[in-house]
Amino acid sequence: MKGRYDGPPPSGQATSKQSVLVVDDDPNNLKLVSASLTLEGYEVVCASSGEEGLEILAGRSIDLLLLDVRMPGLDGIEVCRRVREQPRFSRMPIIFLTADQADTERTLLGLDAGGDEYLHKPISRRMLSARVRNLLRLANAERERQLLTQVAQAEKLAAVGQVAAGVAHEVNNPLSFILSNLESLRGYVNDLSRVVQAYRVSPEAGAALDRTLGIDALMADVKPLLDETVQGGSRVRAIVQELKTFARQDPDTFEPVDLAEVARCTLVLTERELSSKATLVKDLRLARVELAPRQKLHQVMLNLLVNAMHAVEARPLTGQRHTITVSTRTEGDVAVLEVSDTGCGIPESARSRIFEPFFTTKPVGVGTGLGLSVCAMVVDRLGGRIDVESEVGRGTTFTIRVPCDADERSPSTPLPRLQVAGAR
Ligand SMILES: Nc1ncnc2c1ncn2[C@@H]1O[C@H](COP(=O)(O)OP(=O)(O)OP(=O)(O)O)[C@@H](O)[C@H]1O
Ligand SMILES: [Mg+2]
């Protein structure tokens, strides 16, 4: 069964009714505008003065504001200014309705007050409908973008939380041998200082103690112990470095990125956890992308790996191990990243929804349903696509394709051997 993420649904197509507030002191105009917009499927709220309009805005959410310019009491321009002063309305589209086509000064005043557009009376239904639709489409697209950015940040933290247990394990392991090596080295230093003291008393006493304590064997052991300890320290440092990459909140920087490197770095945090659940197969070949947000790609990789891990957990095998395969390569002019698992698979009924934010089949506390929507957003921004192939009871493959670095575009890239990790 194949699927594909083809981008978000077109913005501006209201899934639930969008609301428009019309403020005009002329009851005929109110009736006309209100009738046209209701026919278009909007929820229309009417106010016959600026004061009433502000009151309505204070009490409920409105998606777009239509404001008559000339009204007794608060005129449209003043209402617009007051509305824009409130941060929650900073992005709400505002259209002025005016009969004064030629009054440039007044038009400018309205635009300076924060209005987006002017519609001239007598109002054409088609023009009204087009302006409202377009402004709402832009506002919706912006809202969607903001939401996904917030979601991406929340998701990043959630994903780090998910691997926290694995990370603790990753750090604990080198730390415990660092500590045990240091304990041995402390004993060796103690023996050595006793021999030095003895030599200071007399060369014979020193030589005797040297033999008794087996200093030659001890010295032969010191170098490997020190090497191992330094290696362990470097591993802890690498893990902490990776964690810092995930937790960073800086704005994205676009830089040349090799997807193989992204996969390697993400596996620093997850390999042990993954290998405890499945045989991890790595086939990481050069897959360079010219300009990409490295951190976001780490997140994409982490989301796919966590999903694969959950999928294998959801289909226990007897007498056999599951496999999770991570591969990267360059294919013509695209860089490819693929994560496959032999887990539970995705049923047909869920397949079309998996990229929707908050769609999850996992219990509360396990999944938030944000992982794949974040992946889709990141890949979309790079002009790429995600394909999913899945069969219930057999497994799933997610394939990400993004345009590769122009220098790397070639039909043939060297094929290194498969690396198998975690095989038992
Ligand atoms: N490798 C996979 N195998 C089987 N089902 C999968 C796989 N990856 C994703 N899914 C399905 O797609 C759904 C959505 O995935 P997504 O990563 O967006 O959210 P999640 O994993 O449920 O939660 P989280 O926000 O923690 O990632 C999952 O709940 C699961 O049903
Ligand atoms: Mg997920």
Classify the phi-psi angles of 406: left when phi > 0, otherwise alpha if psi is within -120 to 50, otherwise beta: alpha
**pLDDT for 167 beyond 90:** no
Say yes or no: CB of residue 357 within 6 Å of ligand 1.
no
CA of 395 from ligand 2 middle (Å) equals 15
Q: Give, in order, the Cα–Cα distances in Å from 347 to each of 1, 8, 37, 81, 389.
A: 9, 21, 41, 52, 11
Rounded Cα–Cα distance for residues 399 and 25 (Å): 58
Ligand 1 near 308 CB (within 6 A): yes
Q: List pLDDT tens digits, range 116-158.
A: 999 988 888 999 999 999 999 998 888 777 776 666 666 666 6
Pick 324 or 145 by higher pLDDT: 324
Distance CA 133, CA 10 (A): 12
In this structure, the dihedral spanned by the alpha carbons of residues 345, 351, 356 and 362, taken in order and rounded to 10 degrees, is -30
| Cα maximum dimension of the chain | 118
Residue 249 has pLDDT above 60, yes or no: no
Ligand 1 pocket: which of 163, 306, 307, 400 to mutate (most atoms <8 Å of CB)? 307
Instruction: Calculate mean pLDDT across residues 196-224.
Output: 94
Assign 416 a pLDDT band (cuts: 50, 70, 90). Answer: very low
Measured from the CB, is residue 98 less than 6 Å from ligand 1?
no
**Conformational region of residue 57, where left means phi above 0, alpha means psi within -120 to 50, and beta covers everything else:** alpha
What count of other Cβ atoms lies within 10 Å of the Cβ of residue 140? 17
Among the bound ligands, name the one nearest to the CA of residue 357: 1
Alpha carbon of 153 to ligand 2 centroid (Å)? 14
Indicate if the pLDDT at residue 8 is higher than 50: no
Q: Tell me, what's the pLDDT at 102?
A: 72
Q: Which atom number of ligand 1 is nearest to the Cα of residue 366?
A: 26
What percent of the chain has pLDDT above 90?
A: 56
Q: Whose CA is nearest to atom 17 of ligand 1?
A: 371
Alpha helices, DSSP H, located in 202-248: 203-213, 215-247
State whether the beta carbon of 327 lies less than 6 angstroms from ligand 1: no
Tokens for 379, please give them: 């890949």
CA distances for 191 relative to 38, 195, 217, 229, angstroms: 91, 6, 12, 20
Q: Helix or strand or coil: residue 115?
A: coil
For the range 392-396, what are the long-range contacts, defined as Cβ-Cβ under 8 Å and sequence gap of 24 or more? 392/344, 392/345, 392/346, 392/347, 393/315, 393/344, 393/345, 394/342, 394/345, 395/311, 395/340, 395/341, 395/342, 395/343, 395/345, 396/308, 396/311, 396/340, 396/341, 396/343, 396/345, 396/346
CA dist 269 and 248 (Å) reads: 16
Question: Model-level pTM greater than 0.85?
Answer: no
pLDDT tens column, 75-96:
999 999 999 999 888 889 999 9
Higher pLDDT: 304 or 298? It is 304
CB 5 within 8 A of CB 13: no
**What is the rounded average pLDDT of the residues 317-343?**
96
Highest mean pLDDT among 69-83, 139-153, 226-240, 403-417: 69-83
pLDDT number for residue 265? 87
Q: Given a cut of 80, is residue 105 above it in pLDDT?
A: yes
Please, are residues 140 and 10 in contact by the beta-carbon 8 Å criterion? Answer: no
The pLDDT of residue 358 is 73
| CB 368 less than 6 A from any atom of ligand 1 | yes
Q: How many CB atoms lie within 10 A of CB 31?
A: 13
Identity of the residue numbered 404: C
- How many A from CA of 388 to the centre of ligand 1? 12
pLDDT of 237 higher than 70 = yes
- In this prediction, residue 402 carries a pLDDT of 95
Residue 291 tokens read as 């300009």
In angstroms, rounded to a whole number, what is the distance separating the alpha carbons of residues 132 and 128? 6
